[in-house]
Amino acid sequence: MILKLLIFAVVAVVIYKFFGGKLPTIGKSADEKKLDEDTLVECETCSTYVTVKESFIVSGKYYCSKECTP
Ligand SMILES: [Zn+2]
């Protein structure tokens, strides 16, 4: 029984890292309104649509890449 729990915990951590590892680290985004990771948002600079997961959030606005951030 305990072994099963351990395996489950390891799998959970692997899944968490798989999905969480790609998130861009943005220091002050904690207070931003939370959207679903796959929601499409428009880049403020070039109007490209990217998922929230892939976007860069600066001052509450979304950008498709670092090149577009102010
Ligand atoms: Zn852009």
Q: Give the range of the structural domain holding residue 56, as residue numbers without chain letter.
A: 2-68
Using CA atoms, how far residue 39 sits from 52, 54, 60, in Å, is 6, 10, 15
The whole-chain average pLDDT of the chain stands at 82
> Residue 44 Cα, ligand 1 centroid: separation in angstroms?
7
> How many domains is the chain built from?
1
pLDDT at 16: 80
CB 13 within 8 A of CB 19: no
Locus of tokens 């892939």: 54
Task: Check pLDDT > 80 for residue 51.
Answer: yes
For residues 48 and 29, give the distance between their C-alpha atoms in angstroms, rounded to a whole number: 21
Considering the entire predicted model, what is its pTM?
0.48
Ligand 1 centroid to 27 CA: how many Å? Answer: 20
User: For ligand 1, a single-atom ion, which residues have Cβ within 5 Å?
Assistant: 43, 45-46, 48, 64, 68
Q: Which of 35, 34, 39, 42 is nearest to 62 (CA)?
A: 42
Q: How far is the CA of 43 from the centre of ligand 1 (A)?
A: 5
